[in-house]
Amino acid sequence: MSGLYLPHVHALWVQPALAALPASLNTLSAQQGVLGIGNTESAGYRYIKQIGSGPALGFWQMEPATHDDAWANFIRFRPALQTALMGLLGGKGACAQRLADTPLYAAAMCRVQLYRAPMALPPAYNA
């Protein structure tokens, strides 16, 4: 079984998701990081739900607790980011289930999690 074609994932989900976020979050390095994380976490963009008994959802395999923490302790204090994420949801509520059924939103949430991480992203083209 093969996964999704990476150039399509990049062009149809990662680029538009990050383009919808505040401009400082949309860099080539960030796009490459989000693309690579999804590729690794979902075994080549094959799994939308964590294999086994884990709770992670979406190609980027974010756990519901991580999703909820991002909203409670980070996103709600950043109106521009909140508006951008709600726009990607197209009127759906911001719940963890959206990570599985809305890939644009899941890619954007991956970027939010990367932004919150203490380590800086590597430069573009540096896997």
58-76 pLDDT per residue, tens: 999 999 999 999 999 999 9
Domain contains 124: no
The pLDDT assigned to 90 comes to: 92
Domain contains 127: no
Helix (H) or strand (E) holding 79: helix 79-89
Domain contains 50: yes
The pLDDT assigned to 53 comes to: 86
Domain contains 1: no
**pLDDT < 70 stretches in the chain:** 1
C-alpha to C-alpha distance for 92 and 10, rounded to whole angstroms: 23
* Structural domains counted in the chain: 1
Domain of 14?
Answer: 6-116
Report phi then psi at 57, rounded to 5.
-130, 150
pTM value?
A: 0.95
